[in-house]
Amino acid sequence: MTQPYYDLDVRPVLRDGGEPFSLIMQAVSALAPGQSLRLFATFKPLPLFQVLGARGFDASAREIGNGDWEVIFTPSGAAAEAEQRTAMADQSGDAWPAPVDELDNRDLEPPEPMVKTLEGVEALQPGQTIAALLPREPVFLFEELEARGHSWRGQMEPEGHFRVVIRAGNPQR
């Protein structure tokens, strides 16, 4: 017998200008083994596809009208392999230099953690690194870093925050 979806509607949070990521991750944590999450959002949450893909979920999405989306995240069974792929965006295996600065952005309200981190990265020379402590996994930051040509390595820390190390640009080889 198939389990019913775990439904989560984050449209009200998004319309009020809030950040629903923590609610979504709480819902994922509450799923029973094999249960799917049905998410309702005001946009197609592409960054979430990568985040939940890293946790072993396949996504299917459809627009349901007025710009709203229904996305179903179904367990795929490949969680460990996918999580390893996403935890480290840079898989080059080369040693990174020690961070030139450590930013503690855990107590800032969105979007300030991302803004402060990007400001720190933009002050680096190519090849230099910076570390940042963030209140949650920064999915939107990852996309922006990659779009700007930066690499990152990160993980959730046991204390509940996310630590990311970012290498500026692509150093001349």
Q: Give residue 14's pLDDT.
A: 95
**Residue 11 pLDDT:** 96
Successive 10-residue mean pLDDT values, the chain, 173 residues: 84 94 90 91 92 88 93 73 39 76 92 94 94 89 90 83 89 46
Report the pLDDT value the prediction gives residue 87, as an integer from 0 to 100: 40
What pLDDT is stored for residue 100 in this prediction? 93
Q: What angle do CA 70, 73, 77 make, to 5 degrees?
A: 165
Q: Domains of the chain (ranges plus CATH)?
A: 6-86 (3.30.110.40), 88-167 (3.30.110.40)
Exposed, middle or buried: residue 127 (CB in 10 Å: 0-12, 13-18, 19+)? Answer: middle
Give the model's pLDDT for residue 2. 62
